[in-house]
Homo-oligomer: A and B are copies of this chain.
Amino acid sequence: MKKNYVKDVFHMSEGEEITLQGWIHKIYDLGHVNFVRLRDKTGIVQLVAQKEQLAGLRNETCIKVKGVLSKNDKAIDGMEVQVKEIEVLGKVYYDKLPFDINGKKINAALETQLDHRNVSLKKPSVMAVFKIQEEIGECFRKFLKLNNFTEVHTPKILASGTEGGSELFTVNYFDHRAFLAQSPQFYKQMMVGVGFEKVFEVGHAYRAELHNTYRHLNEYVSLDAEMGFIEDENEIMDLEEGFINYLFENLRETCARELKMYNITLPEKVSIPRIPLSEAQQIVFDKYGKRSPKGDLNAEGERLFSKYVKEKYDSDFVYLTKYPLSKRPMYTMPDDEIEGASKSFDLIYKGLEITTGGQRIHDHDMLVEAIKNKGFKAEEFEFYTENFRYGMPPHGGFAIGLERLTMQILGLENIREASLLPRDMKRITP
């Protein structure tokens, strides 16, 4: 078992013995005495060793070190380890690393970094992305459990698509053709209806979209929530806003080091304006002269409108509400007041959509009508509408793309940086 972590060094006193395990981050050869930066999960510390103690060691060799702490004002946080003994735990086998990970940044194209994820992930600033990501998942679960949600695991292998069958990957399932789930939408609604009332799922979703952009992945982690017994979609927006505030509060505490690496200051209080899509489109046109596609904003419109919201409301977030029913899935609840509008929304964060949500239709006959109105055959969705025969409460929900949220919090340029091992149109390795 591991004895100490690097982070412990800075809570210990000069003269104390310590046993550390980790990787050689960098060796500074100063003749007889050598300095070594040792890296573990929790940080980097300086070792002081005799040259002969380092024989055969190279960057990334995995070692166990016994030593004694001593003060040194020039070392990181003022403390270093005088090495008594080094044991090699894991040898290295390379001629040259594909790129260095001990400099200020990695000097290689993103694609090269992704090809060598076994090296690029070693860099502390890259690893920091996934500390943030882990905390997002943790907070999502904690916040929803505090609100009486139940965690569920629903199947990713389906007999039919969620919304008409486009953009689905097919699986050869024994003698059948099956599909990979685009979303747990139908199942999370079903779980509300059978009596879990409020459910969430943290799981993979698959989209066979022919998009190879900075913001698309074909396999991603979806943070899904669905809540029964709601009045309207505002409760869903309240819930997500509550989550964002809970998340930021926690990240400031648990990920201070990681946020600092990326120079990120999270707002103290997030209060998200709710603006109907049609108003947003008008503003984008009036202020920036850009026309939007019918019933939506495009990527440029999302960026411009976010800029406007930031200036006017000092908010990085904005809910676009009341999307036209015609542009939303068949299960979307129509708006009570505005003809043709729906009780659905998108959440835009720093210019990028990270969430789609809304209230769903809960009445069986109304849902069957809505399916027909979309031009689908109701019989083909009986596996779904069947769930609405046994007393479905008013309900709604949302889904957040985990990688997108991570990317936006840290201001990453490409969503692939927010995935340990991204899958896109051209990449299924490593």
| Interface residues of A, Cβ cutoff 8 Å to B | 1-2, 5, 21-24, 39-41, 60-62, 64, 89-94, 97, 117-119, 121-122, 127, 130-131, 133-134, 137-138, 145, 148, 150-159, 169-174, 176, 178, 180, 187, 190-191, 193-198, 203-204, 206, 208, 218-219, 221, 229-231, 235, 362-365, 383, 386-394, 402, 420-421, 423, 425, 428-430
Contact = CB atoms under 8 A, between A and B. Distances in A.
A121 B387 CA distance: 12
A97 B386 CA distance: 12
B428 A92 contact: no
B391 A91 contact: yes
A180 B171 contact: yes
Contacts of A22: 195
Given A118-B194, A429-B159, A150 B171 contact: no
A2 B156 contact: no
A428 B159 contact: yes
Contact of A425 (B169, B174, B231): B174
A159 to B, nearest CB: 5
Contacts of A178: 428
Contacts of A154: 420-421
B390 A428 contact: no
Q: Which 4 A-B pairs have the closest CB atoms?
A: A62-B391, A121-B194, A93-B389, A60-B391
B39 A420 contact: no
A93 B365 contact: yes
A156 B219 contact: yes
Contacts of A423: 155, 157
A390 to B, nearest CB: 5
Contacts of A195: 22-23, 39-41, 121-122, 127
A235 to B, nearest CB: 6
B118 A386 contact: yes
Contacts of A208: 174
Contacts of A402: 153
Which residue, of A2, A64, A187, A363, has the highest number of chain B Cβ atoms within 10 A?
A2
A41 B156 CA distance: 25
B394 A90 contact: yes
Contacts of A193: 90, 118
Which residue, of A196, A229, A363, A364, has the highest number of chain B Cβ atoms within 10 A?
A229
Contact of A152 (B41, B198, B387, B420): B420
Given A1-B230, A127-B196, A159-B428, A391 B176 contact: no
Nearest to A191: B420
A394 B89 contact: yes
